[in-house]
Amino acid sequence: MLNRRKMLQGVAAGTGAALGLSLSPQHLLASPASKSLAGSGGPKRIVFFLQNQGFDPETCIPSGMSSSGSLAKAKLPEPIEALEPYKERLHILNGLHGMHTSPSHSAFFGALGGYRGGDGVPPMASTIDYELSKVLPETLLPHLCIGMDSIENMTTKPTIATLSASGAGQPIFMHSNPNHLYQMLYGGISTGDIRIQHEARSNLLNQIEVLAAAKGQSLPTADGERYGQYVQGFRDVNGLRDRLETVASHLRQFAPKVDERYAKPRFETDWHDCLLDLGISALASGITNTLTIGSGRGEIFGAWKGLGVDQQGHNLGHMPQPGNPIWIKIRQYNSRMLVKIMESLESVPEGSGTMMDHTLIVYTSNNADKQHTSGATWPVMLLGNCGGIFKSGCFTQLDGKRPINALYTTLLRVAGQNVDRFNMNDQLAKKFDASTGPLKELLT
């Protein structure tokens, strides 16, 4: 196993100049958390995993549990049975709502933003994953988003933005083609064809950045500002590539093996698995502190033929989930992915424990409990307790009077931000939130 402290000391030494920042090992290793909630600890990384088409509470709440209690003697439902050995790390939460997000087919950016969303509607504000990426320990790529869909969609639209945003009208794109993502993260340390493709792509992007910047100077002010965001996107990608190359020797320890699944996937799940491996490697290597996974990419699409599921897309949302063999397969697949994330981070030492000891995984849906939903109930599963900050090994039933924004407020609080609300003004709060501040039911 790799020593996390020595690893990050090497990263800090090699990247401080490239970033133009003072990145001491201490700064990379810890982000001060609110003393009232987390003492001197706090999460160092967070994973959001959103499955589309809704998350029916009956598929995660143990049979017979209608009120809050321990999971110790409970048997997890079949769809999430892969988490049975990890019950002591699990907190199942039911009773939050997202009625103000108007989810219907999907809340889109509103699922992680806690505001009204819609198909084709730009984000109204930043989303919780982005906000957390700013306050967690600094990394080379603060926020990585990956999206899983059918092969056709991932091939024709290798990037798409429907879930995460850095601000109003500023969506963050998900990576859906593992070949492109591998080149971005590890192309600089590869050999053969991958290296050749990486260098060709890098040269092209450098030229585009220069040309785009020059052309933008002649535009009117308003158009110039929008064009500037476009140019900045190329600049960010090129800058990231340069920074990653400064820690090439470190990254070689974490780069996944490229096999035939990348170039010749039999099913879309081959690419799903590759994307997950890349996401985990980015966390384990310290490239990123925030990973957002969109299974179905925040819309009503998605396919799982590799699981023996012939139905795909919108039709899946019109099927009841409890007891449905199709949805059992999809949810079990999700659960195995969650286990893989936990076990991978558990294998990397960090401080006096492991990376998983300082990681929180948030599993839910971008569509509350089902397709065509009012958002009256929005189930969530949390995995990990971040050094004892979060309660685990339990089920909590809330009364439906607190919104998903309260969960996001809680996450910001334990990350050290003194906030009472997230993306909810007083007028909205009077209608949709019965209280203020974090969810005390989640904290020790």
Same domain, 38 and 48: yes
Give tens-digit pLDDT for 109-162.
Answer: 999 999 999 999 999 999 999 999 999 999 988 899 999 999 999 999 999 999
Q: What is the DSSP letter of 376?
A: S
Residue 100 in domain: yes
Same domain? 262 vs 169: yes
pLDDT at 250: 87
- Tell me: do 110 and 169 sit in the same domain: yes
Domain-embedded: residue 17: no
- How far is it, in rounded angstroms, from Cα 275 to Cα 261? 11
**Model pLDDT, residue 37:** 39
Range(s) of the domain holding residue 229: 191-253
Residue 356 neighbours by CB distance under 10 Å: 23
Whether residue 142 is found in the same domain as residue 176: yes
pLDDT of residue 226: 54
Same domain, 50 and 100: yes
The partner residues of 390 in beta bridges, in order of sequence, read 443
Position 12 in a domain = no
Strands (E), 237-369: 290-295, 349-350, 353-354, 359-365
* 403 and 317 in a common domain: yes
226 lies in the same domain as 96: no
CA distances from 45 to 129, 210, 240, 437 (A): 10, 34, 19, 22
Amino acid at 291: L
Domain-terminating residue out of 253, 285, 303: 253
Distance of alpha carbon 333 from alpha carbon 292, whole angstroms = 17
Per-residue pLDDT, 332: 98
Domain ends where: 225, 253, 281?
253
298 within domain boundaries: yes
Answer yes or no: is 425 within a domain: yes
Does any domain span residue 3? no
Last residue of a domain, one of 253, 268, 297: 253
The predicted pLDDT at position 17 comes to 29
* pLDDT score for 19: 33
Q: For residue 300, what are its two tokens?
A: 């009503």
| pLDDT, tens digit, 9 for 90 and up, residues 271-306 | 999 999 999 999 999 999 999 999 999 999 999 999
DSSP class of residue 45 equals: E
Place of tokens 């769809």: 79
* 138 within a domain of the structure (yes/no): yes
Report the 10 Å Cβ neighbour count for 261: 17
* Number of domains, the chain: 2
Q: Note the pLDDT of residue 428.
A: 95
Give the 3-state DSSP-derived string for 162-201, with helices as H, strands as E and coil as C.
EEEEEECCEEEEEECCHHHHHHHHHHHHCCHHHHHHHHHH
Q: Is residue 22 part of a domain?
A: no
Q: How much is the pLDDT for 87?
A: 97
Structural contact between residues 415 and 33, judged by C-beta atoms closer than 8 angstroms: yes
174 with 274, same domain: the answer is: yes
As a whole number of angstroms, the distance between CA 7 and CA 351 comes to: 12
3-class secondary-structure state, position 316: helix
What CATH number is associated with residue 314?
Answer: 3.40.720
Closest by CA position to 397, among listed 98, 62, 20: 62
Q: Are residues 143 and 270 in the same domain?
A: yes
Q: Are residues 284 and 238 in the same domain?
A: no
- 313 in the same domain as 239: no
Same domain membership, residue 283 and residue 242: no
pTM of the predicted protein model: 0.85
Reference 281, options 177, 186, 175, 164; nearest CA is 186
Q: Which residues of the chain have pLDDT under 50?
A: 1-40, 204, 219
Distance between CA 424 and CA 421 in Å, rounded?
Answer: 6
Distance CA 130, CA 144 (A): 9
CA distance 377 to 387: 29
